[in-house]
Structure 1
Amino acid sequence: MGATQEKYKVLLVDDEPIILRSLKVAIPWEELGLAIVGEARNGEAALQLIEETAPQIIISDIRMPVIDGIALMKEVLPRSSKLIFIFISGYGEFEYAREALRQGAFDYLLKPIDHDELTEMLTRAIARLKRQKENEQLMLSVQTLSMLARERMYAEFTLGNPRPLQHLKWLENSELEGEYFMAVVRLDQYASLTAQWSVEEKRLWLFAVRNILEEWSLENGVLSVFPFYNGEWILLFPGSLSSVRTELGEQLTAGIKRYSKLECSVGISRITQGIDQLSTVYPLACKALYQRFYSGQAGVFLDEETAAGGSREVKYPKELELALIESIRTVDLERMLSLFDEMSAFIEAQGLPQELAERLIIEMIVVLYRQFEHLNMHTDWSLEGLLSRLHGLGTLSAMIAALKMEFREWMLESNKSATREDGRSVVEKSMRYIEANYHKDLSIEEVAEVADLSISHFCTLFKQISGYTFLEFATHCRMEKAKYILQNSNVKVYQVAPLVGYQDPRYFTQVFKKATGKTPTEYREENSRQAN
């Protein structure tokens, strides 16, 4: 008989015996590969049991006497960061439950407990634990570093910035040497959603969607998944899955709707090959997404090699689009309005029928709107509202006039609200934030959120003004603090690492030596000799 797979351990915490009893009998623990290793009636008893049994999953009432659920989690998570907490909450405790999510809970469910919902949560928790186990095995390997670098490299190529990346040459023989296709996942009505959400809610929602996408990607053979713009993610699939593109897209949209209650649409490109084609297929996947505005509802839209019936090929005015983007970036209203006149002249000179003219205008509008969004220049403008108004107009001149009026308002409103800090002060604020939080597990998403910029715009602006990349500056802060600690205290080297944001002392030593030319021990010895 082969070795059976080790079960994940679960601890139940609730001061109501009836709930503990129902949980034990209603959930198919054995079938899920879980084992209940203890029950506690309060937070104090739970702390003791956690020490004794080392569970991986804790299902706890959120409200308990003495030590409540959140206090229990805050006590335990710093020591066991991979512990999964699922909270049981009453209907009147939504704010409390949301705070639990903010503090690191996996999920929560409301009383009376829906056992199917809990079973589904546990299935997702198990998937996370399995992923964590795999990640632990990779954590110190080159493969993990390559994954992080690959995500950044893919984003650069998708933006059309094929930088030499000499230090990442070893990544170029990637899975993209073979055939692949791209899916662009975009939340519907993103602008109106962000108008409703607080900064914290926005962070939580985007984090939740990314988690859903990553878990789904692991199970469906996705080569890579990464956020591109706020509210938009890119997934890269092997070409072998091309025949089921629509089904994959439908599974994606259904999964996001099921777990987050948010609607999204997916644009899927044709098959291509080679990493340098990322910037070519991204516009194609986005172009497929434009069909969302014709369909009137969320869905999956494919970029096809040829249109049905061999319809007329239209030359897209790329230079005009780039000039319009530049006019938005430089907030040049007069230039923008004159370029819309040039667009009208271009369409007229091509002699396009109304349907093709409208499609070209809509493609251009969506690109320009994304530029406003990318630069955080919009507030609660409605792209969908503008597109539906244009669709009802019968002539080219009426469409261009409506377009100029709408974009003029957007530009003026952006200019008016440009009491926002200029680029330099935004970067300085970001640098102060990094300096204050370098010892934490800082992500670029978190700092871009503080700067109120999209990730790609933040990266460009930060490098341009500070001269550092985000990672370079965070590392610089960590090394300066490490040197100070080594010089002015007797803290052991392995204890310095977590104080400056590194959980692995060996990795800290490697980074320190690369930055200073010396190991932490050598640095301390040399500086103490100088002091003497």
Structure 2
Amino acid sequence: MSARQERYKVLLVDDEPIILRSLKVAIPWEELGLTIAGEAKNGEAALRLIDEISPQIVISDIRMPVIDGIALMKEVLPRSSKLIFIFISGYGEFEYARDALRLGAFDYLLKPIDHDELTEMLSRAKQKLDWQKENEQLMHSVQMLSTLARERMFAEFTLGNPRPLQHLKWLENSELDGEYFMAVVRLDDYAALTAKWSAEEKHLWLFAVRNILEEWSLDNGALSVFPFYNGEWVLLFPGSLSVGKRELGEQLIAGIKRYSKLSCSVGISRSTQGIDQLSTVYPLAAKALFQRFYSGQAGVFIEEETAGIPEREVKYPKELEISLIESIRTLNMERMLVLFDEMACFIEAQALPRELAQRIIIEMIVVLYRQFEDLNMQPDLTLEGLLGRLQGLSTLDHVIDLLKREFREWMQRSNKTLAREDGRSAVDKAKRYIEANYHKDLSIEEVAEVAGLSISHFCTLFKQVSGYTFLEFVTCCRMEKAKDILQNSPVKVYQVAPLVGYQDPKYFTQVFKKATGRTPSEYREEHSRQAK
């Protein structure tokens, strides 16, 4: 047995000291992977010990004073259903022993005790405990996979990627088939916060906020919560809660303030239906959050209540916004400056009134500023400071000149900081980290942090540069290592799984067969024949 494997605890219960002594010396406890954790002379004492030591197996005489064996089992099993009872009975107690089996006992044996029979019985009991433990680990792994994959799938849909993660289509059996709405929670003054936080402090604060949101979500009926941009989380609520949107938002703000002392704002979208609409409602919730910068104070901003730019007067230049975002992500300064000039031309060509022109510029600047935050390029000037300076300018030329000057300086500083690193170097760093840690429970947050990118930017960039999603690349690394182990080492097949990051051998076999078309055993056998 591996030194790392936990021994199961056994409680011996019998009012005859000679039986207790014989059980302790005649059974190969260590070989069985068991240890005697306690002894009791009657059912009453056994009941106390079970609460104290939490054994996995109880070996008990079926007839005892005060509390007999069956009464003891009936008392304990409702709260410890996995506890294994083995009873010792006399020949005249056969019917009593059969009742014990009917009520949930694992097995029984007759006096005088046949130690070989008991050893075989204990071996079967240990196999059952092992199976229960593996099943629990598998269920935990499936639950973790389900949670992580759901988050990743929701984030991909929110980004507008069509039909992501087709191999996890079963997860789309979704609450989002019904009506739902989105809330975007964003920390206020995030750039100022991260400027004073160390990398470790930033990780701890964001982890703390996520925990607060997840616990709050469980208590308040949210369908899902997942991080999106740095300092920003997305929550999805069933449409049945839409009448209380403002109250939900206020509770979110109060909860984060209470437990983390951090201030945040919440933007809430209209209700919609279907998972494909995530990429539609996210901009609506984010746009509602723009009101945070008009109002000058934190709060809850609901899309239906915020006055957007009337469609009949002007259409927001979405394509120009997308091009500007791309120029920032690729650190293409010349392209960015040209696009700012195009923004000025758009506003002039539309002959927009000052108020509408100002609203377009502000919405555009909020989005672009977020890109610098998302790339971990924190500008010296806060968003509030930049918007304040824009308010004091009287002409469109002055506004565009200020934007070009500020964004040029930010990008120049970013270029120096990154030493002209492109996306490929960040992805290469992430790939090296995955290749060195594929055997661990890697999270996408952990690897994105190593790459120095936000989760959303990391996912997009990793796919663009490597051609794989994060999950696909991790699986590929694990499969290649598994093939190497199977070809070049005598390690048993079931032992390969934990070596390449899978706690459950059955699940590993399924993944391996899907990747190679063969089970691990078939793969090893085929390559053994080829080697001969």
TM-score by length of 2: 0.69
Is the CA contact 2:195–2:378 (under 8 Å) kept in the aligned structure 1?
A: no
Q: Which residue of 2 aligns with 1:342?
A: 342
Q: Which residue of 2 aligns with 1:240?
A: 240
The SS at the match of 1:304 is: helix
State the AA in 2 paired with 1:436: A
The SS at the match of 1:184 is: strand
Q: Which residue of 1 aligns with 2:197?
A: 197
Is the CA contact 1:325–1:371 (under 8 Å) kept in the aligned structure 2?
A: yes
Do structure 1's residue 287 and structure 2's residue 310 form an aligned pair? no
The SS at the match of 2:457 is: helix
Instruction: Identify if the C-alpha distance between structure 1 residues 379 and 450 changes in structure 2 by more than 3 Å, giving closer, same or farther.
Output: farther
Is the CA contact 1:138–1:144 (under 8 Å) kept in the aligned structure 2?
A: no
Q: Which residue of 1 aligns with 2:179?
A: 179
Is the CA contact 1:242–1:271 (under 8 Å) kept in the aligned structure 2?
A: yes
Structure 1: 5+ residue stretches without partners: 1-48, 56-134
Q: Which residue of 1 aligns with 2:96?
A: none
Aligned-residue offset at 1:289? 0.7
The SS at the match of 1:417 is: helix
Instruction: Identify if the C-alpha distance between structure 1 residues 337 and 429 changes in structure 2 by more than 3 Å, giving closer, same or farther.
Output: closer
Cα distance between partner residues in 1 of 2:199 and 2:527? 45
Cα distance between partner residues in 1 of 2:173 and 2:264? 33
Cα distance between partner residues in 1 of 2:412 and 2:310? 42
Is the CA contact 2:137–2:503 (under 8 Å) kept in the aligned structure 1?
A: no
Q: Which residue of 2 aligns with 1:423?
A: 423
Is the CA contact 1:195–1:379 (under 8 Å) kept in the aligned structure 2?
A: no
The one-character-per-residue Cα deviations of 1:353-397 (angstroms, maximum 9, x if unpaired) are: 333322221101011112223333445442121012212334433
Q: Which residue of 2 aligns with 1:405?
A: 405
Pairwise mapping of residues 130-529 of structure 1 onto structure 2 (< 5 A)? 139=139, 145-163=145-163, 166-172=166-172, 174-304=174-304, 307=307, 313-529=313-529
Is the CA contact 1:444–1:455 (under 8 Å) kept in the aligned structure 2?
A: yes
The one-character-per-residue Cα deviations of 1:182-213 (angstroms, maximum 9, x if unpaired) are: 11111111122222222222222222211111
Is the CA contact 2:330–2:422 (under 8 Å) kept in the aligned structure 1?
A: no
Cα distance between partner residues in 2 of 1:348 and 1:243? 41
TM-score by length of 1: 0.69
Is the CA contact 2:138–2:503 (under 8 Å) kept in the aligned structure 1?
A: no
Cα distance between partner residues in 1 of 2:341 and 2:365? 14
State the AA in 2 paired with 1:192: A
State the AA in 2 paired with 1:281: V
Cα distance between partner residues in 1 of 2:397 and 2:517? 66
State the AA in 1 paired with 2:187: L
Instruction: Identify if the C-alpha distance between structure 1 residues 337 and 467 changes in structure 2 by more than 3 Å, giving closer, same or farther.
Output: closer
Q: Which residue of 2 aligns with 1:80?
A: none
Aligned-residue offset at 1:310? 8.8
After alignment, is 155-164 or 500-509 more displaced? 155-164
Aligned-residue offset at 1:276? 2.3
Cα distance between partner residues in 2 of 1:368 and 1:303? 20
Is the CA contact 1:187–1:263 (under 8 Å) kept in the aligned structure 2?
A: yes
Pairwise mapping of residues 65-104 of structure 1 onto structure 2 (< 5 A)? none
Is the CA contact 2:374–2:454 (under 8 Å) kept in the aligned structure 1?
A: yes
Q: Which residue of 1 aligns with 2:128?
A: none
Q: Which residue of 2 aligns with 1:40?
A: none
The SS at the match of 2:180 is: strand
Aligned-residue offset at 1:166? 4.2
State the AA in 1 paired with 2:460: T
Cα distance between partner residues in 1 of 2:213 and 2:177? 24
Structure 2: 5+ residue stretches without partners: 1-48, 56-134
Aligned-residue offset at 1:443? 0.7
Cα distance between partner residues in 2 of 1:510 and 1:140? 17
Is the CA contact 2:137–2:504 (under 8 Å) kept in the aligned structure 1?
A: no
State the AA in 2 paired with 1:199: A
Count of matched residue pairs = 405
Instruction: Identify if the C-alpha distance between structure 1 residues 145 and 443 changes in structure 2 by more than 3 Å, giving closer, same or farther.
Output: closer
State the AA in 2 paired with 1:433: Y
The SS at the match of 2:418 is: coil
Q: Which has the larger radius of gyration?
A: 2
Instruction: Identify if the C-alpha distance between structure 1 residues 239 and 379 changes in structure 2 by more than 3 Å, giving closer, same or farther.
Output: same
Q: Which residue of 2 aligns with 1:8?
A: none
The SS at the match of 1:139 is: helix
State the AA in 1 paired with 2:386: L
State the AA in 2 paired with 1:233: W
Cα distance between partner residues in 1 of 2:307 and 2:459? 38
Identity of aligned residues (%): 81
Pairwise mapping of residues 49-128 of structure 1 onto structure 2 (< 5 A)? 53=53
The SS at the match of 2:234 is: strand
Cα distance between partner residues in 2 of 1:284 and 1:309? 12
The SS at the match of 1:237 is: strand
Cα distance between partner residues in 2 of 1:309 and 1:336? 24
State the AA in 2 paired with 1:280: T
The SS at the match of 2:440 is: coil
Instruction: Identify if the C-alpha distance between structure 1 residues 54 and 509 changes in structure 2 by more than 3 Å, giving closer, same or farther.
Output: farther
